[in-house]
Amino acid sequence: MSFGKKHLLGIQDLTKSEILSILETAESLKEISRRDIKKVPALRGKTIINLFFEPSTRTRSSFELAAKRLSADISSFSKTTSSTVKGETLKDTVLNLEAMQTDALIIRHSASGTPHFLSTFCESHVINAGDGTHEHPTQALLDAFTIKEEKNRLKDLKIVIVGDILHSRVARSNIFLLNKMGAQVVLVGPPGMVPAELADLGADIDHDMDRAVKNADVIMMLRIQLERQQKNFFPSLREYRNLYSLTPNRFKKADRNAIIMHPGPINRDVEISTQLADSVKSVILKQVENGIAIRMAVLYLLLGGKEREFTN
């Protein structure tokens, strides 16, 4: 078990052993959030900045709480409160923040590759909290953690991901991670959202949801990004719902112990029926709880301990 990276930029460049080391560390750290005093001193004196150029409640507060539970100091900036609205370049913003002696920068940005760009000149550890349509590594890690908790393994599970895969960084990170861990991934959605090229990522593709969910162990629903609807990736919301919404009838075709996941925020009765979202088969809120443990593990593994040689 080892973790040799300086940054967490994506799942694609993590080794299997690095992924396992994050999952195992998270398992140990999860208990801290259930204590009366939800705090340990491990990262005392470390300064972390949350830079969110896209809206987020879950990921941002999850990172904030994770940092605080490890006793690090954290400040959060959003697009509207940062000087980029005054015309400052991203690089200048980051260099100015780093001049305040930061130890880590957590970044979410609508442009794919922003965290990689920061890592080329930052002294601080860079953590990708979602970049464009590229990756959202901590989401994939918390998903894997949740699946492992429910199913005790990842290998050989049939995991169906439904929705706008093409534009989903959550899906991409999940495909990378699940492939590395030996799960079978099936991508489901209309051809405009699940084009054939996605098979190159190492997943099966099916445009027929009723067929795809058969014997599935995990069904992961993605949010239909209603703000993208004007771009006509699917003919109509009603048609999408008819073909790809997770309904009790469709869910019956999955394995009887199948679980339902969703990275949030959910559109009730669009991609998932309210009845299922609130059922015992849904682990959506467990994903949120586990998000804290995963982000604590990532911060601890990157920032804790002595300066060492990094492989990225």
Partner 1 sequence: MGSPEKENKMVDKIKARVMDASKIKRAFNRMATEITERNRELNNLVIIGIRTRGVHIARRIAKLIKEYDNVDVPVGILDITLYRDDFSELEDKHIVKKTEINFSIENKDVLLVDDVLFTGRTIRAAMDSLIDLGRPKTIQLLVFIDRGHRELPIRADYTGKSLPTSRREQVQVQLKEIDNKDEVLIKEPGGIN
Q: Which residues bind partner 1 (CB under 8 A)?
A: 1-3, 21, 25, 27-29, 31, 35-37, 39-42, 70, 300-301, 304-306
Distance between CA atoms of 194 and 233, rounded to whole angstroms?
10
Q: 238 vs 308, which CB is nearer to partner 1?
A: 308
CB of 24 to partner 1, least distance (A): 8
Nearest Cα to 136, choosing from 125, 124, 128?
128
**Alpha carbon 203 to chain centroid, angstroms:** 18
Q: 159 vs 296, which CB is nearer to partner 1?
A: 296
CB of 303 to partner 1, least distance (A): 11
8 Å CB contact between 196 and 166: no
Q: Which residues contact 204 (CB under 8 A, 6 or more apart)?
A: 184, 185, 186, 187
CB of 287 to partner 1, least distance (A): 20
Q: 233 vs 300, which CB is nearer to partner 1?
A: 300
Which residue(s) pair with 73 in the sheet? 47
Cα–Cα separations (whole angstroms), residue 165 to 81, 143, 286: 31, 16, 23
Token pair, residue 137, equals: 């590594």
Any idea which residue has 């080794």 for tokens? 15
CB of 297 to partner 1, least distance (A): 8
Burial of 226 (0-12, 13-18, 19+ CB in 10 A): exposed
CB of 113 to partner 1, least distance (A): 28
CB of 19 to partner 1, least distance (A): 13
Q: 68 vs 167, which CB is nearer to partner 1?
A: 68
Q: 223 vs 295, which CB is nearer to partner 1?
A: 295
CB of 25 to partner 1, least distance (A): 5
Token pair, residue 275, equals: 């009845």
Any idea which residue has 């209603």 for tokens? 226
8 Å CB contact between 170 and 137: no
Cα–Cα separations (whole angstroms), residue 232 to 171, 186, 228, 239, 269: 20, 23, 8, 12, 20
Q: 11 vs 297, which CB is nearer to partner 1?
A: 297
Q: 45 vs 87, which CB is nearer to partner 1?
A: 45
CB of 35 to partner 1, least distance (A): 6
Distance between CA atoms of 90 and 273, rounded to whole angstroms?
40
Q: 28 vs 236, which CB is nearer to partner 1?
A: 28
Which residue(s) pair with 78 in the sheet? 52
